[in-house]
Amino acid sequence: MRLSRYFLPVLKETPADAQIVSHQLMLRAGMIKQAAAGIYSWLPLGYRVLRNIERIVHEEQQRAGHIPMLMPTLQSADLWRESGRFDAYGPEMLRLRDRHERDMLYGPTNEELVTDIFRSHVSSYKTLPLTLYHIQWKFRDEIRPRFGVMRGREFLMKDGYNFDLTEEDARHAYNRHLVSYLRTYERMGLQTIPMRADSGPIGGDDTHEFVVLAETGESEVFYDSEVTDRRFGDRVIDYDSHDDCRAVFEEFTSHYARTGETHDEALFHERVPEARRRHARGIEVGQIFYFGTKYSEPMGATVQGPDGKPVPVHMGSHGIGISRLLGAIIEASHDERGIVWPAAVAPFQVGIVNAKQGDPASDAACEKLYATLARAGIEVLYDDRTERAGAKFATMDLIGLPWRVTVGPRGLADGVVELTNRRSGEREELAPSQLQGRLSE
């Protein structure tokens, strides 16, 4: 992409409304524009990152055997009356009427819809286990939206639902999701800690939240310092193996780690030596639930078992806050100059800075490099504006691409360009012909 033909409305000054660094940087980097309280337009740069995160979530979900689909944002109130949540959910649910005065709602979550799909089409235990998920916009009419995309009213979320014949199978689905989520977040360069949490209006007995530790987090968390050393890493796992998934579950949840609502001070003291007790703040980026037959019973989601008798299915649901993740990643990865994107989610992998636009040698070298990299499938943003080098550097630092190539008369006189790593600041000089190989490492 040529920056001169792109749409990247960066701001030099920080808008007054933004309180936390991720919100400030998203606005300054031209990623989002507020449309109303807690509702944002995703400008091209922000949209690219959003899509990258979405893609990773899709890949990891499908790796775990979960099946993608898409349910609508607008739902009929009827199903929610059936589950009893039309009244129970409260004013956080946005209710509206269509032209025929029928009660509708903008979905805050999708248990009712997916359960309805399930009961319409699944009648045999042979179809189980089944996990369906989708990535769709949700609306929750928060009392006070804030912190940009971290607490918006409209937000993009992956929500998935597992249907199993037995509690044992459903527990496995729970563990499998925990493993899958750990992988997902690590791929985005985030360390998350699964914490025992409160189930809120979704209901159910068992639930863990995935928390990114951050000063600006909205949740109060208590944990054993041991948990921060855990890494899933690149281990290979058989998602169908109950034992393998349970082992990971136990490894990551054996130490004390709880959010404020479920925190038990006495237990904390009993189980964690004082030197390892931590009290901090965190950002919730996902949550998994096991809720048994809470929805399947009232809504009649049953299957015929091997003995021919109908049994309600055991269910769980699981969510990842896709749009919130942008904020969480920036909170966890930035410096005084701007965002530092982990490569996996970066809007472009490399930015080319033409230090002297209009200089024939510089222009030619940049054009050639741009074409070569693009042809190699590397996502590259070429800053071909007639700005001075300093302004281009500042823009690149702000938008946080992993690599920057600086091309100018100075280096070209020696036959080299400069490659700079955004995170470490390390720079090396190399011939333009070596660049593609270096970036593909």
Binding site for RNA (CB under 7 A): 10-17, 19, 28, 34, 36-38, 92, 140, 142-147, 150-153, 155, 157, 198, 200-202, 209, 218-219, 261, 284-287, 319-321, 323-324, 337, 355-358, 386-391, 393-395, 397-398, 406-412, 418, 420
Nearer to RNA, 137 or 305 (CB): 137
Q: Is the dihedral of CA 328, 340, 31, 58 positive or negative?
A: negative
Please name the residue that has the structure tokens 């006495």: 266
Say how far apart CA 290 and CA 212 lie, in whole Å: 22
Nearer to RNA, 292 or 408 (CB): 408
- Concatenated DSSP letters of 36-71: ETTEEEE-HHHHHHHHHHHHHHHHHHHHTT-EE---
> Least CB distance from residue 210 to RNA, whole Å?
7
Task: Count Cβ atoms within 10 A of the Cβ of residue 104 and give its class: 0-12 exposed, 13-18 middle, 19 or more buried.
Answer: middle
Query: Please, what is the Cα angle at 328 between 322 and 331, to 5 degrees?
Result: 155
The Cβ of residue 401 has, within 10 Å, a number of other Cβ atoms equal to 23
Nearer to RNA, 150 or 369 (CB): 150
> Least CB distance from residue 308 to RNA, whole Å?
38
Nearest to 372, CA basis, from 422, 427, 307, 439? 439
Nearer to RNA, 302 or 362 (CB): 362
Amino acid letter at 413? A
Nearer to RNA, 102 or 388 (CB): 388
> Least CB distance from residue 346 to RNA, whole Å?
17
> Least CB distance from residue 350 to RNA, whole Å?
14
Say how far apart CA 437 and CA 49 lie, in whole Å: 25
> Least CB distance from residue 423 to RNA, whole Å?
13
Nearer to RNA, 205 or 243 (CB): 205
> Least CB distance from residue 199 to RNA, whole Å?
8
